[in-house]
Structure 1
Amino acid sequence: MQLDVAMTLLKNTKASLVSYHENGFVSAQASAKDMCEEMNVEDVLKEKRLRMMKRHFGYEAPDEPISDALRRL
């Protein structure tokens, strides 16, 4: 097993994931909007139905969940 090759591959993978995290989603979202305009389709994200959980007396619940799909990121 060649550890130097494995380390190089892992570093390259990490660099590509960090790069995608920083600007990949924005570019993917822009290209999806362009495709929607070309196909004359609405470019809105569907909202998921929020699950309701039973709350026990005295339970400190977190703030209301964010229902907007783009804000959850």
Structure 2
Amino acid sequence: MLDQKKIEENLKTHFKIMNEMCLQMRKISDQMERLSNELHELSRNTGSIAQKITGFSRYPSGLPGVPG
């Protein structure tokens, strides 16, 4: 059976690892949000370019879900 000191060391290690994982997940989440925003902007720009070329807009207002 583990002694109290070993249990405390294991818990400290566990929480350090968990904290680092949470920090990494936050960074990944922030990166995903930035990428999502960039993709949204790219999509809008692509639609705008396509509209200028073809004269046709899938979204008359320029925004999905917003009536023209």
Greater fraction of residues in helix: 2
TM-score between both structures, scaled by the size of structure 2: 0.39
**Higher relative contact order (CA closer than 8 Å, sequence separation 6+):** 1
TM-score between both structures, scaled by the size of structure 1: 0.37
